Amino acid sequence: MMCRTGRESGPYGADHENREEAPAAAFAALLEDSAEELYENAPCGYLSTLMDGTVAKVNATLLDWLGLERGAVVGRMRFTDLLTVGGRLYHETHFAPLLRMRGEIGGIALEMKRSDGGRMPVLVSSVVKRGDGGDPLLIRTTVFDARDRRAYEEELLLARRTAEQARRQAEADRARLQEALAVLQRSLLPDVLPTIPGLETAAHYRTASPDRLGGDFYDVFPLDGKRWAFFLGDVCGKGPEAAAVTSLTRYTLRTAALHDPDPTAVLTTLNKVLHERYTAGDPRYCTVVFGIVEPDGETGRADVRLASGGHPPALVLRADGHVGRLPTPGGLLVGILPTAPFAVATTTLDPGDTLLLHTDGLTEARTGRDRTTLYGDEALLAFAADHAGEPPDALIKALSRLLDGFGDGLDDDTALLALGVPARPAPGSTTKNTA
Amino acid sequence: MDIERRNNVTVAGNPRGRTVVLAHGFGCDQNMWRLTVPALARDHRVVLFDYVGSGRSDPSAFSEERYGSLEGYARDVVEVCEALDLRDAVFVGHSVSAMTGVLAADAAPERIGALVMVAPSPRYVDDEGYRGGFSREDIDELLASLESNYLGWSSATAPMIMGNPERPELGEELTNSFCATDPDMARVFARTTFLSDSRDDLKKVTVPTLVLECAQDVVAPREVGAFVHRAIPGSTLVTLDATGHCPHLSAPEATNEAITGFLAGLR
C-alpha cells in the first residue's frame, strides 16, 4: 500500500489546494479514533478470557455478530460457551492443548453460535498474556469473520471429494479391466498341458504388457489313443481384436483336427475360416505351426509331422548336441488368401531329442546396450545348442531366464512350446507347464 | 515389526521405579504429558508413546480396519507393553485412552496392575438413562470441524511433520506439530473415539483404579465421572478444580499431586 505523509506536491496542477483538505480531515478523524473506539468497533471480534475461559472483556463487533448482550457474556460465559458443540470438542482436543503448549495459536477455523440459532464460521487466533513472573494471566483472542472463506473452502472440499471419488473409481475400473484381461488371456492358453506317455512337454508364455492382450497362442491335445496334436502361433496385432482372432484360431484348430488331423488339412480349414471371417475391410491373419506327434512306446521314439503357415521354423535339439531347423519353406500366412499352400516337414525324435516351437517375440527382442540389435535366429540357434540334450522343462526354464535378461527389450509377446522324448524311457511321463 | 519405532516409544525417569505408561487421547500426542513427566520421573520409570495415526508414529502401520475400533488402540498398548516386557505397570490414560487402558488391562492382566483414568468417558453420545454430553449430530459437527481445519493446516504443518534435523529448535518444532495428524487418520480416531460405547467394559476392571475428573469439563461432564466411578467397584474418584478436558495441562500441579498420591498408595 502507498501512504502519503506530510505535504508533498504531486502532479496535480490546479487541483493541488483542494486535495490538501481531505487528508487533513482524515487525520483529524484518526486522532479522535481512540484506542477504545478502535477496540470496540474494529472489523474483527476481540475477546479476553481468564485462564479458565471465563470471558472478561469482549468488543461490540463480536457481540453484534453473535447477537449477544455484554451483560450476558462478561463474567457469565466461557469462551467455549460461544462455540458450537463441534467447535467446542475441537477446542478441547486441539485448540486448548496447543495454546497451553505454545502460548499462542493462530488461524483456527471454528464456528460460533449466534443468539438467533444461526452459526458463524470464524477464524480464531489466541495468545496467552503472562505476568511479570511468567505466569499466565489471561488469553487474548481475535475472531475474524470467515463466512466467505468457509463457503470457498466448502467448494474446495467438495471438489477434492469429487476428485478423490473419481480417482478411486478410475482405479477400481482399471483393476477390474486388468483382471478381465488376465482372465481372457488365460482363456486363450491351456491351464496345463496334457500328460503324454513317452513324451515330456513344457511351455511358457510371456506378455509384453499386462494392459494388453497378447496375440500368441499354443496348445497340446489328444487326438486318439496314440497321437497328440500341438500348435503354436502368432496372430497379427495385439489387443482385443487380436485376442478375438486368437480365440477363433484356437478353437478352429482343435475342431478341424478332430475331423482330419492331417496338418495341411487343418491349416487349410483355418485359412478358410480366417479369410471368410475377416476379409471384409479388416483383414486378420496369423502364422502358425500345427503338428502331430506319435510316441512309440516300443522304440522310445516319437514321430513328428507338422505344417507351417508363415511361422518361424521349429528347432530340433538332438541329444548329441546337434541343433537344426525343421524347414517348412513356402508356407503362407494363414487367412490372407482364399487358398494357400502349406509346407509340411517330418522328423523323428530319439530319446533325449526335443522339438522347440517359438514365436518371433523371442528372436525380435531388442538387445545390446542401446537396445537396437535384434536377438536373432542365429543367437537362438547357438543358445539352443548349449541346452541340447536337456529335457523340455529345463530348456524352457533356460529360455525363460533368457527372456528375463531382455528386460524392456522385449516388445512383443512370446510363446514357447517344447516336446521331448525322455533320454531314458521311463514308464509314464512328466509334464510341466511353466507359463 | 519394531513396535518401539512404530509407536514412537520414549522411556524416561527412574529405571528402578515402577513403570507408569502415559497414553494420550484423541487430538494430540505424547507431548500432552510434558508437564506430568517431571513429577513422576524421580520415583518411576515413565513410558510414553504415540498411538499409530498420531504424533510421530509410523503412518504406514495405520489401517482403517484396525483403528476403527478401540480394540485396535488397545492392541497398540498391549504391544508396547510386550515390546518393553512391562509387568504390573500403571497405565495412565487421558480421555478415550482411559477406556483403551481398560481394554488393554483386560487383554493382558499381567502387564497392567493399576489404572489412572484422566477425564475418562466410556460413551460420549447421550443414551437412554445416560448423559454423555453429546448428540450424534454434535459428533458429525466435530468431524466437519476437523476437516475445515486440516484444509487450512495441511500446507503449513506438512513441513513440520516431515521434520528437519538441521533445525536446532527441534523441541519447539515438536510442540508445534503435536496436534498435526494425517487428516484421514484423525478422522478415523475421532469416529472411533466419539462413537464408542465401552460402558460394559468398565465391569472388567479388577485393578486399583483412580478416576480423575475436572470440575468443569465440556467433553466429559460430571455425570460421566460419577458413572465411571460407580461402575468400577473400589475405584477412587478425585474431582480436580480445573476447567477443560486436559487437567494435565490446565491444572498440572493438582493433577500430578492426585496421580503421585495414588501411586504412593499402591503396594
Boundaries of every domain in chain B: 3-122+197-265
- Distance, in Å, from the CA atom of B182 to the CA atom of B57, rounded to the nearest integer, reads 11
Residue A207 and residue A302 in one domain: yes
Q: Of the candidates A127, A145, A163, which is a domain's last residue?
A: A145
Q: What is the pLDDT of residues A286-314, one digit of tens each?
A: 999 999 999 998 888 999 999 999 999 99
Q: What's the CATH code of the domain at A387?
A: 3.60.40.10
- A200 within a domain of the structure (yes/no): yes
In 3D space, the residue among A102, A51, A55, A56 whose CA is nearest the CA of residue A83 turns out to be: A55
Q: What is the pLDDT of residues A191-234, one digit of tens each?
A: 889 999 999 999 999 887 766 677 889 999 999 889 999 999 99
Number of separate domains in chain A: 2
Is residue B245 less than 8 Å (CB to CB) from chain A?
A: yes
Q: Is B148 a catalytic residue?
A: no
- A426 within a domain of the structure (yes/no): no
Distance from CA of B148 to the nearest CA of A (A): 7
Q: What is the DSSP letter of B170?
A: H
* Backbone angles phi and psi of A129, in degrees to 5: -90, 130
Domain that holds residue A45: 17-145
- Is there a contact between B27 and A156 if contact means CB atoms under 8 Å apart? no
Q: Which pLDDT belongs to residue B212?
A: 97
- A356 within a domain of the structure (yes/no): yes
- Is there a contact between A84 and B141 if contact means CB atoms under 8 Å apart? yes
Taking contacts as CB-CB distances below 8 angstroms, the residues of chain B near A98 are 28, 178-179
Q: Is B217 a catalytic residue?
A: yes
Q: Among B50, B182, B201, B217, which one carries the catalytic annotation?
A: B217
Residue A242 and residue A340 in one domain: yes
Q: What is the pLDDT of residues A301-356, one digit of tens each?
A: 999 999 999 999 999 999 999 999 998 887 888 988 888 888 899 999 999 999 99
Best residue in B137, B148, B191 for a mutation probing chain A (most A CBs within 10 Å): B148
Answer whether residue B20 shows pLDDT above 50: yes
Tell me if ipTM is over 0.90: no
Give the residue with greater pLDDT, B164 vs A158.
Answer: A158
Best residue in B195, B217, B218 for a mutation probing chain A (most A CBs within 10 Å): B218
Interface of A with B (CB under 8 A): 51-53, 78, 80, 84-90, 92-94, 96-98, 100-102, 107-111, 121, 150, 153, 156-157
Instruction: Output the CA torsion B159→A149→A120→B132 (10° steps).
Output: -40
Amino acid, res. A302: A
Taking contacts as CB-CB distances below 8 angstroms, the residues of chain A near B134 are 85, 89
- Distance, in Å, from the CA atom of B44 to the CA atom of B37, rounded to the nearest integer, reads 9
A200-206 and A414-420 strand pairing: antiparallel
Q: Which pLDDT belongs to residue A317?
A: 95
End-to-end CA gap in chain B: 34
Residue A64 and residue A200 in one domain: no
Residue A231 and residue A324 in one domain: yes
Residue A345 and residue A206 in one domain: yes
- A176 within a domain of the structure (yes/no): no
- A433 within a domain of the structure (yes/no): no
In 3D space, the residue among A354, A373, A349 whose CA is nearest the CA of residue A363 turns out to be: A373
Q: What is the pTM of this model?
A: 0.61
Q: What is the CA radius of gyration of chain A?
A: 42
Q: What's the CATH code of the domain at A52?
A: 3.30.450.20
- A260 within a domain of the structure (yes/no): yes
Residue A79 and residue A220 in one domain: no
* Closest-CA residue of chain A to B241: A52
Is residue B179 less than 8 Å (CB to CB) from chain A?
A: yes
- A4 within a domain of the structure (yes/no): no
- A161 within a domain of the structure (yes/no): no
Distance from CA of A179 to the nearest CA of B (A): 25
pLDDT tier, A1 (very low <50, low <70, confident <90, very high otherwise): very low
pLDDT tier, B160 (very low <50, low <70, confident <90, very high otherwise): very low
Which CATH superfamily, name and number, covers B3-122+197-265? Alpha/Beta hydrolase fold, catalytic domain (3.40.50.1820)
Answer whether residue A430 shows pLDDT above 60: no
- Is there a contact between B145 and A51 if contact means CB atoms under 8 Å apart? no
